[in-house]
Amino acid sequence: METITVDKLPLDEKIILILKKRGIRTLNPPQAEAIKKGLLEGKRLLVTSPTASGKTLIAELGMVNYLLSKGGKAIYITPLRALTNEKYNTFKDWESLGLKIGMSSGDYDTDDSWLENYDIIVTTYEKLDSLWRHKAKWLNDVSYFVLDEFHYLNDPERGPTVESVAIRAKRKGVVLGLSATISNGNEIAKWLNAELVATNWRPVPLKEGIIYPEKKDFIIVYKDNSTRKVYGDDPIIAYTIDIVSKGGQVLVFRSSRKLAESTARKIAQYMNFIKLEDKKLLDIGREIKEVDDAGTNEKEDLYNLIIKGVSYHHAGLSKKLRDIIESSFRERILKVIVATPTLAAGVNLPARAVIIGDIYRYNRKVVGYMDLIPVMDYKQMSGRAGRPGFDENGEAVIVVRSKREAQKVFERYLMSDVEPIESKLGSESAFYSFLISIIASEGEKTERELLEYVKETLLPKELAKKYFKSGLNWLLDHDIFIKIEDKIKLSRFGSRISDLYINPFTAVTIREALEKSEKSCEIAYLHLLAYTPDGPTISVSKSEEEALIDELNCELLVDEPEDEYEFSNYISALKVAFIVYDWINEIDEDTILGKYGIGSGDLRAIIDTMDWLTYSGFHVASVLELKDHKEVLEELHMRVKDGIKPELIELVKVPGIGRARARLLYQHDIKRPEDIVMNPEKVKRLLGPNLGEKIVREAARIIA
């Protein structure tokens, strides 16, 4: 392919200057192909190429050139908040051209009107869906949509929203889809009304292989049939030490947190033979110990690993811990991360080598059953191998138990294409939410007009019509939709649940439980919210199950189900309820983590979700005019975020005051923001002069 230098591009000189500042003089093959297919003319494109092949720059050139030549706004949409932050920081370069970069994620009950002043907005699929539902006026100016990580269409949880957003985006402006390999790229490009740009080019070539035991050692067979041996008692340790001893970094993927942690500890025992940057690792270890949103035991465990150049990484860790681990790996100080597969889909963390330790994972719906991981998941993990600028090759190996198994795995993962992208709107919950989203964002529609949107889904036509009929009836029967003459609209109840961005089954579960019940205990409300489809799920052992039931001393708002799978969700919700109950009664965080066997990241995720669900429950009770339930849920919501008893609610309204500072002030007879303003010296004595001064100012601002 002919090389394209940036000087030859029909771009504003200021754009070319920014590219050169980044060290970009020529475009790589996917970028050159996108230019040839009409990127700079505002053509719709679907770009599929491997990880780290420069797709973000394609989006930047498309957006910036379009905005400078045609005006309007552009939205860059990602599936993950971590990616939203990453892209936002990358795009800040363009502010020197006078373009303002904004970012928004989370908080679904707002239209973010402040974004009207921004030109490029980075957000998540869910947040954009929510903004459309709130009819944010500034969205009328958006005419360029970048759909990042577009293979998330195939994700059972996120896929329905990605598809819903894509359907509306392609009706409203230019669409640029970006993805790793999509095997049915022509079909998906046609659906987007876009031209396909598909390449297999990678900046660092990838060597893929299988590692299996042979006599007392381990042999690696690569895709090109070349082989080599590594020596030791364990394939993961042997291969990791081999790579690290040659100056490389390794990402190891394990199927569970427990395996990730135990594997990291085993590898750490062998790191004494590796030359490490001890002083820098000690500094990182100390930084870990000072993190304030994590448990003491977690920090101690990670410290002991990190000083040996190794760490584990999973969602059970707090965000601050994960950030430190990721940045120290990027800086090449940390040599090995053992992670669960969620890391592969998240932030950009390349390594010389990737080890896929497990090709099976537990099926959450069938107890004791293991599924083979999809080829797409393998591609996501192996795609992290090879650091541009550091490695001549990246290596990805799959661990298997025998030579016989190696052949099957070789065929399935190394020689096969990824699964075709298919619609994930084929469930009642997803499809009904899709219908609500269309009416909320596009306004009232006739049945025929709404069906036109349904026909644009990727679902087979007959299946889409079937879901449409049953969905429409269910939404009308449950007073979410109302029909006036021939127009379908949202009811008052439907409009509120759409704004709250909760699953319609969550809303109906809450409504039915509250309407048939008298005022109940706090645990009962927390259990109800956790038991909805939007509630957090958590594993519960048999002994925990018995203890939870024994500890329960009030009647729950939902009846115990007979179905075994539903009962496990019911008990999971009860554990969540007790965790949150302890949290809002100011039980120490370390005690909660130890008592329930969870990590600080789990606790934060549970709190964030239950903060949203108590807010939603309070608003559902409010719109239904259930005064007693509303009062309990409103107070619970005010307590969940900070983990406080009722008497501290007023104090934590002051920015900078959390549960610990509020309790300290309260114990010294400072109980309201007014007390802070009236006793500035006392506050400074309790909190320290600088922080105290700041808190007094914030309190004064609140009561002004």
Residues 408 and 410: their CA atoms lie apart, in Å, by: 5
Residues 11 and 503: their CA atoms lie apart, in Å, by: 45
Phi, psi for residue 482 in degrees, rounded to 5: -130, 150
Give the contacts of 220 (CB within 8 A, at least 6 positions apart). 209, 210, 211, 227, 228, 229, 230, 239, 397
Residues 29 and 53: their CA atoms lie apart, in Å, by: 9
- CA 431 to each of CA 147, 486, 563: distance values in angstroms, whole numbers, following the listed order: 21, 22, 24
In sequence order, the β-bridge partners of residue 124 are: 78
Phi, psi for residue 76 in degrees, rounded to 5: -105, 120
Helix axes 13-21, 55-70, angle to 10 degrees: 160
* The Cα angle at residue 359 between residues 355 and 364, in degrees rounded to 5: 125
* DSSP sequence for 25-85: -EE-HHHHHHHHTTGGGT--EEEE--TTSSHHHHHHHHHHHHHHHH-SEEEEEESSHHHHH
Nearest residue to 297 via CA among 643, 659, 607, 597: 597
Residues 65 and 18: their CA atoms lie apart, in Å, by: 13
Give me the half-sphere count of Cα atoms (radius 13 Å) on the Cβ side of residue 544: 18
667 is in an annotated binding site: no
Residues 686 and 700: their CA atoms lie apart, in Å, by: 18
For residue 392, the tally of other CB atoms under 10 A from its CB is: 8
Contact yes or no for 623/316 (Cβ under 8 A): no
Give the contacts of 203 (CB within 8 A, at least 6 positions apart). 28, 52, 53, 54, 386, 388
Q: 116 exposed, middle or buried (CB, 10 Å; 0-12, 13-18, 19+)?
A: middle
Its sign, for the CA torsion 374, 52, 78, 69, is: negative
* The Cα angle at residue 345 between residues 341 and 348, in degrees rounded to 5: 115
Residues 328 and 316: their CA atoms lie apart, in Å, by: 19
Residues at the binding site are 31
Residues at the binding site for ATP are 31
